[in-house]
Amino acid sequence: MVFSTKVADRVERILRAIGGTPELPFTSEDDQRMVDLIALACVSIECENSLWVAAMMPDFGRELDPKRLAKGNPGLPKSVVLPTIIIKEEDIGRLLDWQTQNSKPIHVWHTFYDRSYGISLEYANELISTGAIVGTRQTFQAPGGATSHKTIYKIYYHYGYPLAISNEEPQLEAAHIIDKNGHILPYVKFVGGTVTLHSDAITQLNELETARRRE
């Protein structure tokens, strides 16, 4: 969740009452303290990341082609390789339900090695519902080694807003998970680095905070 600095003191008091941020995942959203905390947020974030340098992707900077239409919207060939904001099909319903139940907008933020992009869940769902963005079948591997097939939606970054640009690149560190059977699943994670928020993202957050105060 993202909060305005104007409510920082109230947020800190609630967090102390809960027991600190490590306790948030174990605190029911029915708890009045969580209800109060969610109410103070201007937006809730579903965050994804990809191990790509966005600016080096082959089709980065390529404009949507108005002649290549997807349900009336400009599109691109399926073979393009460029930054996308990814949402899993199985997550959409849950996210929309949470958004409705808590009267709190959700934005999806997708972070690459060098930059990040965002889009509102409402707009993303509209693009998917109208067929402007179609699903892609992808294989996922669980920590235990089992594989599953899920549909994901890759939303061209053009439809979103620029969120941040890296000014101090993160380091890539090796990490791993060991499952109950002793199987080791290695992966790479981002560590450190700093970014500068894009002015478009700041505008989005200011508008969301203004809307929250009007509620």
Average pLDDT score over the chain: 92
Relative to beta strand 147-156, strand 106-111 is unpaired
Share of the chain above pLDDT 70, in %: 96
In the numeric block, the tokens 């439809």 are attached to 159
What span, in angstroms and rounded, lies between the C-alpha atoms of 16 and 27? Answer: 13
Strands in 9-160 per DSSP E = 44-49, 65-70, 73-75, 84-88, 106-111, 115-120, 135-141, 147-156
Within-domain flag for 62: yes
What span, in angstroms and rounded, lies between the C-alpha atoms of 119 and 160? Answer: 5
Of the candidates 148, 172, 161, 137, the one whose C-alpha atom is nearest the C-alpha of residue 50 is: 172
Task: Quickly list DSSP for 34-68.
Answer: HHHHHHH-SBEEEEEE-SS-GGGSTTTTPPPEEEE
Within-domain flag for 77: yes
Within-domain flag for 11: no
The total number of structural domains in the chain stands at: 1
Within-domain flag for 210: yes
What span, in angstroms and rounded, lies between the C-alpha atoms of 7 and 41? Answer: 9
Per-residue pLDDT 10s for the chain (215 aa) are 999 999 999 999 999 999 999 999 999 999 999 999 999 999 999 999 999 999 999 999 999 988 776 677 788 888 899 999 999 999 999 999 999 999 999 999 999 999 999 999 999 999 999 888 989 988 776 665 667 889 999 999 999 999 999 999 899 999 998 888 888 888 888 899 999 999 999 999 999 999 999 98
Q: Are 117 and 85 in contact (CB under 8 A)?
A: yes
Domain housing 138: 42-214
Within-domain flag for 13: no
Within-domain flag for 29: no
- Sequence-separated (6 or more) residues with CB below 8 Å from residue 15: 21, 24, 37
For residue 145, the model assigns a pLDDT of 61
Q: What is the radius of gyration, based on Cα positions, of the chain?
A: 19
Tokens of 145: 């080694």
Within-domain flag for 8: no
Q: What is the pLDDT of residues 142-172, one digit of tens each?
A: 665 667 889 999 999 999 999 999 999 899 9
Within-domain flag for 74: yes
Of the candidates 145, 95, 149, 103, the one whose C-alpha atom is nearest the C-alpha of residue 123 is: 95
Of the candidates 74, 88, 200, the one whose C-alpha atom is nearest the C-alpha of residue 136 is: 88
* Alpha-helix runs per DSSP H in 110-198: 121-129
